[in-house]
Amino acid sequence: MTTYHGIGIMSGTSLDGLDLCFAEFTGDSETDIWGYRIEHAATVPYNRDMQERLANGIGLSGIDLIKLQSDYSHFVGQCVQKFIDSKDLRPDFVASHGHTVFHQPENGVTLQLGEGEIISTYIGCPFVCNFRTKDVALGGQGAPLVPCGERFLFQQTDMCINLGGIANVGCKGDKGFDVCPCNMLLNHLATLHDPDLQFDRNGQLAATGQVLPDVLEQLDQLDFYQQRGPKSLGYEWVSQNLLPLLKTDQHSIPDLLQTCVEHISQHVSDACVKAINKSHGTVLVTGGGAYNCTLINNLKAKLKKHNIKIVDTENELVEYKEALIFAFLGLRSLLNVENVFSSVTGSRANTVSGSIHHGTLGHNKPSLQDRFNFMIRKRSSGVNELRIIKEK
């Protein structure tokens, strides 16, 4: 068994901020038995200017999008550098999901901000990013990728649910898909209610509202919900097809929030019941939506009818599971073992995905780059032994 330390970085469509997770992974790439331990984690909130630029990225001109790419990449690099320095960390590698601006796999298009060559100038170890592009090129959805890591790290539960900007599910890592928009909707409505609100804290606003049957029916009839997986969602689809149905000039925002809570919980519950497909089961719920009491209570009630229980989870995992998993996917990329699976994304093949960028700053500990280079040398010399031994 070998031990690695890495940092995972995640920025979701809910625009809460930049999640950073420093974790220890212990395992063996040959047996694919892995364990993890989160050692440090932090969230760097986006200021209002960065939030607005990221939210409006889809409508930028070419040059303005390139400028946002540069500015955002320097921001990420500075954040990870401060995180490393503040905790005196010695990561073997850093891996980032990036921030999604475009996601149109049906058109062969996906774009995550966070240029590796810029970010790598702030760190002294390998940096891995751009996990989606290869899968999309092979006809896959390029998402969700979290179930690809859950297959190794979260085998103890039947199902993993992430209630982020988009709700997605994974079942034992063998299948997973985006279910429906989640915090993307709830946060949008909360901000319309009060510009100073970034989200509906604890679901308090939704709790005062009533379900609007006509609006709920319109939401449920959208074409996406008739499609079979693998499937994924992007902000473009949500803004074009779903947000126009939430007419704040005709309905109160609390009523629209409660309707969206019903919509989300029903579709997530249906996905769990269909995937687990047995008399009882357990699910792990993470993401910002796990703190929305109105949403969680609604989801619990629906799952209870099918003897499916939501397991208790520590807050650190609720908040940083996605960042943790992207660290793990980056590790697998560096070890040259598959980290994106066609059973989840629908692509033509499993792949080793992620662009690797070399760090430029000094590092006083033998890094994973040394071991990665050693592996490549062994392969090029015709030696098949790929085991990498870490010096303690």
Do 181 and 267 contact (CB within 8 A), yes or no? no
In terms of Cα–Cα distance, which of 185, 194, 308, 184 is closest to 258?
Answer: 185
Task: Output the furthest CA–CA distance in the chain (Å, rounded).
Answer: 70
More confident residue, 120 or 361: 120
In terms of Cα–Cα distance, which of 112, 122, 115, 121 is closest to 54?
Answer: 112
Q: CA 150 to CA 196: how far, in whole Å? A: 35
What is the tens place of the pLDDT at every residue in 33-49? 999 999 999 999 999 99
- pLDDT for 235 beyond 90: no
- pLDDT for 175 beyond 90: no
Q: CA 301 to CA 309: how far, in whole Å? A: 10
DSSP line for 182-212: -HHHHHHHHHHH-TT-SS-GGGHHHHT----
Backbone angles phi, psi at 72, to 5 degrees: -65, -40
| pLDDT confidence bin for 26, thresholds 50/70/90 | very high
| pLDDT confidence bin for 386, thresholds 50/70/90 | very low
Sheet holding 159-163, edge to edge: 175-181, 166-171, 159-163, 281-286, 308-310
Average pLDDT, the chain: 90
pTM: 0.88
| pLDDT confidence bin for 315, thresholds 50/70/90 | very high
Which of the residue ranges 223-227, 294-298, 355-359, 373-377 would you say has the lowest mean pLDDT? Answer: 373-377
282 secondary structure, DSSP code = E
Backbone angles phi, psi at 139, to 5 degrees: 85, 10
Rg over alpha carbons for the chain, rounded to the nearest Å, is 21
Please report the pLDDT score of residue 370 as a whole number. Answer: 58
Give the mean model confidence (pLDDT) for residues 347-354. 97
Q: The tokens of 33 are what?
A: 């038995």
Which of the residue ranges 173-177, 200-204, 254-258 would you say has the lowest mean pLDDT? Answer: 173-177
The full set of domains in the chain, from first to last, is: 2-143+320-380 (3.30.420.40), 158-310 (3.30.420.40)
